Structure 1
Amino acid sequence: MQAKPKASVIISTYNQSEWLRLVLYSYHIQTVKDFEIVIADDGSDERTKTIIDEFSAETDISVFHVWQKDDGFRKTKIVNKAILKTNTDYLIFTDGDCIARKDFVETHLKLRQPKNALSGGYFKLTAAISKKISKAIILEQKCFDKQWLLECGQPKSFKLNKLTTSKFKAQFLNTVTPTKATFDGMNVSCWKADILAVNGFDERMEYGGEDREVGERMMNNGVKFLQVRYSTICVHLHHERPYKNELSQTLNKQIRQTTKKEKAKWTAYGIEK
């Protein structure tokens, strides 16, 4: 009998099939293999299914494609469906435009603790460098190499420290960073039981802070968020955000304010209706 995987990587995507091809490849070369992938697809066309089918045929990792009809931005709904599809006790959430360093899953697993969630970050690549990324670049891990990025025109900034390979430096920066540990959907992990205990994502939420809100309910329910932004490394491929709008931001802000005011631990608009 095959052993149960140690984690499920939930990857959110919508019509970015070529980005997803690269992201999936970054999981094919992880330093640990005992995880499954669940793709939360918010209504992509056939190109995405083709990429997933091709990847599934090439890898030994179990891959599940959870899809819903395209009806606007409904990420919270499809991620809730993906959570229910998982076969493990520990969940790692990320996006289909975030390429994982080869130790990404291993590090999330090493740092997990009971009643804690891990809050990671990402390093944003420029549009020009994003276009240079290929399977060969990922295999050689060049997209995580500070020197290679600088040579390709990535602006020099303190944020390059997010790509450190030093465990001591990462731990130090995780401790001193002023950035709060929150639930950011592109790089966060938690116990499945802890997210089910708050009924998952609030499906009323649209784009902008929709992932933060579920984290706030988890905190209200006693889950502590640990800062690991310099330890669990991924790079973000550049793209525009046409779905960003003021009405969504206002709606989400109101829901989050209610969660904060009422110290809510549960949403009536989540997995259980």
Structure 2
Amino acid sequence: MFTVSVLITTYNWPEALTLSIQSVLLQSILPMEIVICDDGSADSTRLVVNDLAKSSPIPIIHIWQEDQGFRVAQIRNKGIAAAKGDYIIQIDGDIILQRDFVRDHIRFAKHKYFATGSRVLFSKRVTDQLLISGLHLNGSLLFKSRNKLNEIRLPFLQEMFAGFYKNRGRYQYYVKGCNMAFWKKDLLLVNGYDESFIGWGREDNDIAIRLINSGIKKRFLKFGAVCYHFHHPIFSRDLDAENIKKMTQAISQKLTFVEKGLSQYL
């Protein structure tokens, strides 16, 4: 038995965030809380969160920081510090969940491991329709989408694929930051996300590298924890080369702990 917090990272897209939160509240097993990690959104996001919190059967906590550019590593650290759960399931505010997403992650959780999964990509047309009409999340979402294989949920195959799928060679550090889960004690061990990662990308690979260097292994959750990703414009990747360089150093130097991380907010 353990408690679960769901972290949702967001920035200035309250319409998508509304549907993301609603999909958590319709889970077959509810987490103990939802923590919104807000990287500097305008007041409209706070109003949406407050409104949903009024009728929510579980606490919804809104953690906000000033908008100083893309600082997802920092806001996730703040959310992790605020989370009360033993196990932290991490998604983004442009993700909606199949109703057994949390159930699958709970069933898949294993000590000395962290987990990552896949996502199904919605087209722009489907995204626009959903944002206008809202969601009725009873059962599976059956929309036209890319990578349909990621929509298949087969619980009896999940454990079979856990140890080897996208877990060797060039996929050794492969993760999807919008679908990850960690024991909070393991995040404390590596001091959470490295806040020197600014701009889009690689902060999730870096934390995976440092967890693995610390002896925490990766399990890939295939055929479960199904989630759907709204279409949106690609974020600026101007700092990607620098972030890749830091990620590569974490591998070569076998780094585990970062100085500027989670401990600042505990």
> 1:237 maps to which residue?
230
Q: Indicate the residue corresponding to 2:91 in structure 1.
A: 94
Whole-angstrom CA distance in 2 between matches of 1:193 and 1:114: 10
Tell whether 2:132 aligns with 1:139. no
1:137–1:171: structure 2 CA closer, same or farther, 3 Å change rule?
Answer: farther
Rounded Cα–Cα distance in structure 2 between residues aligned with 1:164 and 1:113: 22
What stretches of structure 1 move > 4 A for 4+ residues in a row? 169-179
Cα pair 2:34 2:60 within 8 Å, conserved:
yes
Aligned length: 258
* Alpha-carbon contact 2:108-2:159 (below 8 Å) kept: no
Give the structure 2 partner of residue 262 of structure 1.
253
Equivalent of 1:184 in 151, 176, 191: 176
Listed as ranges, the matches of 1:40-51 within 5 Å are 40-51=37-48
Deviation, 1:35, is 2.2
1:123–1:81: structure 2 CA closer, same or farther, 3 Å change rule?
same
Say which SS state the counterpart of residue 138 (structure 1) adopts: coil
The aligned counterpart of 1:38 is: 35
Which residue of 1 is the match for residue 80 of structure 2?
Answer: 83
Q: Is the 2:28–2:100 contact (alpha carbons within 8 Å) kept by the matching residues of 1?
A: yes
Question: Contact 1:183 / 1:214 at 8 angstroms: preserved in 2?
Answer: no
What aligned pairs does 1:139-158 form with structure 2 within 5 A after superposition? 139-141=137-139, 144-145=141-142, 149-150=143-144, 154=145
Cα separation, 1, equivalents of 2:164 and 2:249: 30
**Structure 1 Cα separation of the partners of residues 60 and 2 of structure 2:** 12
Which of 8, 13, 16 does residue 16 from structure 1 map onto? 13
Query: TM-score, with normalisation over the residues of structure 1?
Result: 0.88
Q: What is the aligned partner in structure 2 of residue 165 from structure 1?
A: 153
Q: How far off is 1:218 after superposition?
A: 0.4
Partner of 1:211: 204
Q: Percent identity, aligned pairs only?
A: 28
CA offsets 1:19-43 (integer angstroms, 9 cap, x no match): 0000000011110124211010000
Deviation at 1:166, TM superposition (A): 2.6
1:7–1:178 distance in 2 versus 1, CA, 3 Å = closer
With the length of structure 2 as denominator, give the TM-score of the two structures: 0.90
CA shift, 1:230, in A, is 2.2
Correspondence for 1:107 among 104, 108, 111: 104
Q: Distance in 2 between matches of 1:223 and 1:209?
A: 19
One of 246, 250, 253 as aligned partner of 2:244: 253
Corresponding residue SS for 1:40? strand
- Give the aligned residue type for 1:64: I
1:223 and 2:223 are equivalent in the alignment: no
SS at match of 2:262: coil
Is contact 2:20–2:93 with CA below 8 Å preserved after alignment? Answer: yes
- Which of 251, 263, 266 is the aligned partner of 1:272? 263
**Contact kept? 2:23, 2:96, Cα under 8 Å:** yes
List runs of 5+ in structure 2 lacking aligned partners: none
Matches of 1:172 and 1:195, distance apart in 2: 26
Task: Say which of 185, 191, 196 aligns to 2:188.
Answer: 196
Deviations 1:53-81 (A, max 9, x none): 11101111111100001011111111101
Partner Cα separation in structure 2 for residue 87 and residue 173 of structure 1: 30
Q: Secondary structure at the match of 1:38?
A: strand
Instruction: Give unmatched runs, 5+ long, in structure 1.
Output: none
8 Å Cα contact 1:122-1:229 kept in structure 2: no
Report the residue type matching 1:256 in the other structure: M
